[in-house]
Structure formats: structure tokens, C-alpha cells
């Protein structure tokens, strides 16, 4: 792990360009709580993850590497008895999905019975790197199987956030991790044919792709659908009706941005963007703020930038647009008043 951190630092120091964007099959959940399988069905992107990774919330953050990109997803089905949840992936992150559900539906019994080893894949470093390790297959059951790590040259342990990691056996995607024991280096995986069967049975009806964004009194409803920078796991708390406590994130020394979607399929009026921070001696308000509007339709974005003032040292930002329309708003926090303190936001209001 120290080698990968050193590599990341050397790349940044030498100005090495980030690799081109490519499809991803696994994503980091909520800054490291676990992993999720990304897959496509009928042109829509979904995530499958162990239900216990995020047991009490339906809005989650997902991050993928190469290059790093983050977005939001909404859990619309879960079954704790099999420890599986399904989420609908929103925003531009959906473009990174690569695995078709129909490719996951074959019976993998023969593959599990005729192979002795597999390869685990996960995402670490806040979505910066893929991690891979070798495993031996120990036991195979009807819906799951158990492994033991055999590649001590990688990390030598099963880290926190391992649940949801993917394993391939014989070159075939075979399962997602639902529990692990760091002491024995053993892990249990839910079989991928079982995951596919549950997904196929539950990708019907009124899941989030069919839901309109709910309006709010005297303002516009929105969902946080993408973010970049720090504190990603808490960014969805900025949505209307969600913020019961301030959003606080460590300031990373570089801009933090988040994208809010006002409508999934049409332009809506936008007159005002309000940010409020109630600063104290332990936190800081942002200072420089950039507001961008997407006035395009899905699949054909058209981004423009609005002239915006700084947030005041007392935490007030109120941008009047003069009357315009938009489908998405990207808010970038360029710097802060006190760089040695965590960043804080108490209110995000759009009308």
C-alpha cells in the first residue's frame, strides 16, 4: 500500500496525465465502507452491493478509478436475508458501467467445481486505484462459496471495506464478497448467478429511474448526482429534506465540486443559488465559488459558467441568476477562508 501511495505522489509531482476514462465493473461505496458491482440492464446502470454495507440509508456515494469519478446511487431494493441490495446509478457515472446483466446469468457451478483459485478486485484510495489479490477456493455451496487469500505480496490482509469486492474464477465473474475474517484471511462470496437471478427478478416496477425529482416549498427539488473532492459519502445529505446536521469534510487543498440535478429530462427555471455556512472555531466556510449550468438535454450537455461572488467570511452566498433555465447545476468550492480547518456547509438552496 505504501508503494501505491508513493506512486500516486510521484505521478502528481511529475505531472503525469491521468489515463483515459474507461468502463468500470466495481466501485467504492461511501469513501470506503465497501464495494459495489456495476452492471447494465436495458441501457440503465445499476449497483449490487451487500445490504449490510449501508444498512440504514438509501442514498449512497460511488467512486471509480482511471480516472477517478464519483456519483450517487439510490438503493431501491434490499434483502438482508441474503445480504444484497440493488441501487440505481444516477448522473454521468452511469456511463462507466460495463457488465451486461445477461452476461451474469449463466450457471457457474462447473466453473467453481473445476477451478481451485480466483482473483479478487476492489477499489481503494478514495477511488484512485484498483486492488487485486489471489485467493484459493475452500468450499462451494448452492448460493455462495468461501475463499482464503493466497497472495501475500499484495497487502497481507483483508482491509475494512472489503465487502462487495468482486472475484473472478477461471476468467469468469463469480461473486461478490458478503463477509470476511481479517484474522484467517477467509471471505464468503455470494455467487454471481444468484446475484443475477435476484437482480433480474427485482428490476421491475417503480424504481428510481422512473421517479420525478420531488419539488420543495418555495424552491426547486434536486438530487446530488456527482461530486469530486472530499467528503463524498456525506454529499447526498445536501439534498432537500436530508440535511439534519452540517455537511463537514476535510479540506483536501484542491477544489471540491458537486453536481445537482434539477430534472432528469427537461430544463427548469433557475433564479437563485444559496449556500450558507454557520462557521465556528473548528470549521471554515468556502471562499471562491464557481457556478456552472447545464442547459442541455440528457446525452447532449451544454455547460455555461455564471459570474459568482465569493462566499463571505461569515458564511453567506446568494447568487441571483436574473432568470434562466437549467437541468443541472455544478457548484465548485475553489478554496476556503481557513485552509487548516474542515469545510462546512449548512444549507444548499436552489429556486
297: DSSP letter? B
Hey, what's the cell of 293? 449550468
Nearest residue to 191 (alpha-carbon basis) of 144, 137, 146, 147: 144
Q: How far apart are CA 122 and CA 176, in angstroms?
A: 10
Question: How high is the pLDDT of residue 32?
Answer: 82
User: Given CA atoms 76, 210, 230, 133 in this order, what sign does their dihedral have?
Assistant: positive
Which region, left, alpha or beta, applies to residue 152 given φ > 0 means left and ψ of -120 to 50 means alpha? alpha
- 82 pLDDT higher than 70: yes
Buried/exposed code over 103-127 (b: 16+ C-beta within 10 A; e: otherwise):
ebeeebeebbeebeebebbbbbbbb
CA 226-231-232 angle, 5° bins: 30
Q: What is the DSSP string of 64-99?
A: ETTTTEEEEEEEEEEETTTTEEEEEE-GGGGGGB-E
CATH code for the structural domain at 212-350: 2.60.120.260
Lowest-confidence range among 56-70, 96-110, 119-133? 119-133
Question: How high is the pLDDT of residue 161?
Answer: 82
Lowest-confidence range among 5-9, 116-120, 173-177, 335-339? 5-9
Question: How high is the pLDDT of residue 230?
Answer: 63
Q: How many CB atoms lie within 10 A of CB 83?
A: 20
Q: How far apart are CA 89 and CA 95, in angstroms?
A: 10
Segment 111-154, tens digit of pLDDT: 999 999 999 998 875 556 677 889 999 999 999 999 999 864 44
Question: How high is the pLDDT of residue 15?
Answer: 44
Question: Which CATH number, 2.40.10.10, 3.40.309.10, 1.10.150.530, 3.40.50.10490, labels domain 2-100?
Answer: 2.40.10.10
Is there a common fold for 2-100 and 212-350?
A: no
Residue reference for cell 427485482 = 202
- 13 pLDDT higher than 50: no
Give, rounded to a whole angstrom, the gap between the first and last alpha carbons of the chain. 45
Of the ranges 52-61, 138-147, 236-245, the best mean pLDDT one: 138-147
CATH code for the structural domain at 103-195: 2.40.10.10
243 falls in which pLDDT band (50, 70, 90)?
low
Q: What is the DSSP string of 221-281?
A: --EEEEEESS-GGGGGGGSTTT-SS-EEE---SS-EEEEEES-SSS-EEEEEEEEE----T
Domain range list for the chain: 2-100, 103-195, 212-350
Higher pLDDT, 4 or 237: 237
Longest dimension (CA), the chain: 67
Q: pTM of the full predicted structure?
A: 0.82
Q: What is the mean pLDDT of residues 296-318?
A: 94
Q: What is the mean pLDDT of residues 167-195?
A: 94
Q: How far apart are CA 101 and CA 86, in angstroms?
A: 13
- 305 pLDDT higher than 50: yes
Please enumerate in sequence order all residues whose Cβ is within 8 A of that of 119, keeping only pairs 6 or more positions apart, or say none.
132, 133, 134, 135, 167, 168
Q: How far apart are CA 274 and CA 319, in angstroms?
A: 6
Lowest-confidence range among 37-41, 124-128, 278-282, 293-297? 124-128
> What kind and span of H or E run contains 294?
strand 289-294
220 falls in which pLDDT band (50, 70, 90)?
confident
Q: How far apart are CA 139 and CA 263, in angstroms?
A: 48
Amino acid at each position: 500500500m505504501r508503494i501505491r501511495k508513493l506512486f500516486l505522489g510521484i505521478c502528481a509531482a511529475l505531472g503525469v496525465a491521468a489515463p483515459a476514462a474507461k468502463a468500470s465493473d466495481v466501485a467504492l461505496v461511501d469513501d470506503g465502507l465497501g464495494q459495489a458491482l456495476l452492471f447494465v440492464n436495458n441501457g440503465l446502470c445499476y449497483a449490487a452491493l451487500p445490504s449490510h454495507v449501508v444498512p440504514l440509508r438509501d442514498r449512497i456515494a460511488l467512486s471509480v478509478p482511471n480516472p477517478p469519478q464519483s456519483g450517487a446511487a439510490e438503493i431501491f431494493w434490499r434483502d438482508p436475508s441474503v445480504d444484497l441490495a440493488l441501487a440505481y446509478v444516477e448522473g454521468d457515472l452511469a456511463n462507466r458501467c460495463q457488465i451486461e446483466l445477461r452476461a451474469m446469468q449463466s450457471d457457474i457451478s462447473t466453473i467453481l467445481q473445476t477451478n481451485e483459485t480466483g482473483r479478487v478486485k476492489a477499489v481503494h484510495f478514495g477511488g484512485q486505484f484498483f486492488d487485486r489479490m489471489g485467493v484459493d477456493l475452500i468450499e462451494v455451496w448452492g448460493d455462495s462459496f468461501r475463499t482464503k487469500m493466497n497472495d501475500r505480496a499484495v497487502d497481507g490482509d483483508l482491509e475494512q471495506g472489503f465487502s462487495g469486492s468482486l472475484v473472478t474464477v477461471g476468467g469468469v465473474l463469480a461473486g461478490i464478497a458478503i463477509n470476511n475474517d481479517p484474522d484467517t484471511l477467509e471471505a464468503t462470496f455470494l455467487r454471481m448467478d444468484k446475484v443475477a437471478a435476484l437482480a433480474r427478478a427485482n428490476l421491475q416496477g417503480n424504481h428510481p429511474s422512473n421517479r420525478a425529482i420531488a419539488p420543495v416549498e418555495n424552491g426547486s427539488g434536486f438530487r446530488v448526482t456527482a461530486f469530486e473532492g472530499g467528503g463524498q459519502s456525506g454529499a447526498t445529505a445536501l439534498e432537500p429534506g436530508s440535511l439534519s446536521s452540517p455537511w463537514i469534510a476535510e479540506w483536501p487543498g484542491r477544489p471540491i465540486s458537486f453536481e445537482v440535478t434539477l430534472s432528469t429530462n427537461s430544463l427548469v427555471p433557475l433564479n437563485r443559488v444559496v449556500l450558507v455556512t454557520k462557521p465556528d472555531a473548528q470549521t471554515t466556510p468556502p471562499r471562491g465559488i464557481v457556478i456552472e449550468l447545464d442547459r442541455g438535454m440528457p446525452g447532449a450537455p451544454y455547460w455555461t459558467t455564471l459570474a459568482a461572488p465569493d462566499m463571505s467570511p461569515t458564511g453567506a452566498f446568494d447568487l441571483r441568476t436574473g432568470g434562466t433555465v437549467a437541468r443541472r447545476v455544478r457548484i465548485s468550492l475553489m478554496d476556503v477562508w481557513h485552509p487548516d480547518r474542515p469545510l462546512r456547509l449548512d444549507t444548499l438552496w436552489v429556486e
